[in-house]
Amino acid sequence: MNNLLLFIVGFLVSSVVMLAIGILVYAAILDGRYEREQQDVRASESS
């Protein structure tokens, strides 16, 4: 396999993996915000 082709394929695979990890991190941040909101709602309803 040509070195340039191997580099391009590796770069594309790395880019897809970085994008996927970024999406997962963003989703985890949003989930944490939602959980905090729900805890605040539960606390205000119980008092």
pLDDT in tens, 1-46: 799 999 999 999 999 999 999 999 999 999 988 888 888 888 888 8
Single-letter amino acid code for the residue at 24: L
What pLDDT is stored for residue 23 in this prediction?
98
SS3 content of the chain, % helix, strand, coil (to 5): 95, 0, 5
pLDDT at 47 over 80: no
Query: Within 10 A of 28 (CB to CB), how many other CB atoms are there?
Result: 10
pLDDT at 39 (0 to 100): 86
pLDDT score at 6:
96
What are the backbone angles phi and psi of residue 2, rounded to the nearest 5°? -60, 140
Q: Which two tokens stand for residue 23?
A: 């999406």
